[in-house]
């Protein structure tokens, strides 16, 4: 015998809407947690000078931050704004310290978003102009790079170049004494601007220690570093060149024929 279930009770529209809102809120919360973790990881990598990995994390985090802006909730919008500012700051560090051209593009775009979405035109457009000028300068093929040899270097310009390349701060007086005790020095210029530097301390017969190899972030990936080292090492085949390097630069030196050396000891400065 078939029993009637009775009339079907209609679903509450209000209840369905609440469930939908709860689900959306949960997804947004999880997205914010994921974004925050990605940004924390990127910032930790920046602190370790692992700029390539940091840039990859920031490149993934940036569109996530943009999506967080699609909200009318003031508190959520404030969180999204902070995330976008963190992205912009990290991208700026990647560009300024590591010379990441892609980071400059992303930083310029982030600045545009800050201007149009968050209504901060003066600050954001100032950033955008800075990064767009950098892109134009770095993509400009007409810049003539001149290599010069010898200790005749503007020491104040060298102090500034060391700062741009994240080298330890040294006074012009200390740098002058270093150059006086250096056998071979090569520096790169675009017009009057110092954009690269390298030196080698040597007995001139058997061994040379490469030091202070640096290229202005705005002029990287133009072959300046290779040219500096080629000029230092050319016609000196009988000399063994050694150096210390940061981990992120190891591939660059490996491409020039350097290999890892384990049979070394260091007595650090007291």
Q: What is the CATH number of the domain that holds 53?
A: 1.25.40
Shared domain for 125 and 190, answered yes or no, is: no
Domain-terminating residue out of 89, 115, 139? 139
Shared domain for 69 and 157, answered yes or no, is: no
- Least trusted range by pLDDT, from 47-51, 98-102, 149-153, 219-223: 98-102
CA distance 44 to 54: 8
* CA neighbor of 49 nearest in space, from 85, 91, 93: 93
Shared domain for 19 and 133, answered yes or no, is: yes
pTM of the model: 0.50
In a domain, 183, yes or no: yes
In a domain, 6, yes or no: no
Provide the pLDDT for residue 129.
46
In a domain, 94, yes or no: yes
Mean pLDDT computed over 38-48: 84
End-to-end, the C-alpha distance of the chain in Å comes to 97
Shared domain for 189 and 110, answered yes or no, is: no
In a domain, 214, yes or no: yes
Shared domain for 121 and 149, answered yes or no, is: no
Provide the pLDDT for residue 263.
77
Greater confidence (128 vs 94) lies with 94
pLDDT tens, position by position, 164-184: 888 988 999 999 999 999 999
Shared domain for 99 and 173, answered yes or no, is: no
Backbone φ, ψ for residue 149 (5° rounding): -115, 155
CA distance 55 to 59: 6
Domain with residue 175: its CATH number is: 3.40.630.30
Mean pLDDT computed over 17-25: 57
In a domain, 75, yes or no: yes
Shared domain for 134 and 162, answered yes or no, is: no
Cβ-contact 153, 194 below 8 angstroms: yes
In a domain, 264, yes or no: no
- The pairing of beta strand 193-202 with beta strand 184-190: antiparallel
Domain-terminating residue out of 139, 161, 179? 139
Shared domain for 176 and 152, answered yes or no, is: yes
CA distance 85 to 83: 5
Give the three-state DSSP class for 187.
Answer: strand
Domain-terminating residue out of 139, 158, 191? 139
Shared domain for 150 and 125, answered yes or no, is: no
Segments forming the whole domain that contains residue 242? 145-254
Shared domain for 248 and 221, answered yes or no, is: yes
Query: Taking all residues of the chain, what is their mean pLDDT, rounded to a whole number?
Result: 76
- Helical pair 13-47 and 51-68, crossing angle rounded to 10 deg: 160
Shared domain for 243 and 209, answered yes or no, is: yes
Tokens of 126: 């100032």
Tokens of 242: 């050694």
Shared domain for 153 and 221, answered yes or no, is: yes
Number of domains in the chain: 2
Residue 121 reports pLDDT greater than 80 = no
Q: Tokens 């974004």, residue?
A: 35
In a domain, 259, yes or no: no
Cβ-contact 187, 175 below 8 angstroms: no
In a domain, 267, yes or no: no
What 3 state SS string does 17-79 have? HHHHHHHHHHHHHHHHHHHHHHHHHHHHHHHCCCHHHHHHHHHHHHHHHHHHCCCCCHHHHHH
Mean pLDDT computed over 58-68: 76
């Amino acid at each position: 015998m078939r029993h009637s279930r009775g009339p079907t009770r209609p679903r509450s529209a209000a209840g369905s809407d609440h469930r939908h809102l709860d689900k959306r809120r949960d997804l947004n919360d999880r997205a914010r947690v994921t974004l925050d973790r990605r940004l924390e990881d990127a910032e930790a990598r920046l602190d370790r000078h692992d700029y390539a990995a940091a840039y990859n994390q920031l490149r993934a985090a940036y569109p996530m931050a943009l999506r967080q802006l699609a909200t009318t909730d003031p508190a959520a919008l404030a969180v999204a704004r902070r995330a976008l500012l963190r992205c912009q700051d990290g991208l700026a560090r990647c560009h300024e310290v590591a010379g990441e051209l892609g980071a400059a593009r992303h930083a310029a775009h982030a600045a545009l978003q800050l201007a149009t979405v968050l209504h901060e035109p003066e600050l954001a457009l100032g950033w955008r102009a800075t990064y767009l000028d950098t892109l134009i300068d770095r993509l400009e093929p007409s810049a003539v790079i001149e290599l010069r040899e010898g200790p005749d270097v503007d020491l104040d310009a060298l102090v500034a170049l060391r700062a741009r390349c994240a080298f330890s701060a040294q006074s012009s007086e200390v740098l002058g004494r270093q150059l006086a005790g250096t056998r071979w020095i090569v520096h790169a210029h675009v017009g009057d601007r110092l954009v690269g530097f390298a030196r080698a301390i040597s007995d001139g017969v058997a061994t040379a220690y490469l030091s202070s190899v640096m290229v202005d972030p705005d002029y990287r990936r133009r072959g300046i570093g290779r040219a500096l080292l080629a000029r230092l090492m050319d016609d000196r085949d009988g000399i063994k060149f050694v150096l210390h390097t940061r981990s992120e630069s190891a591939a660059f030196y490996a491409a020039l024929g350097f290999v890892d050396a384990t049979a070394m000891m260091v007595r650090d400065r007291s």
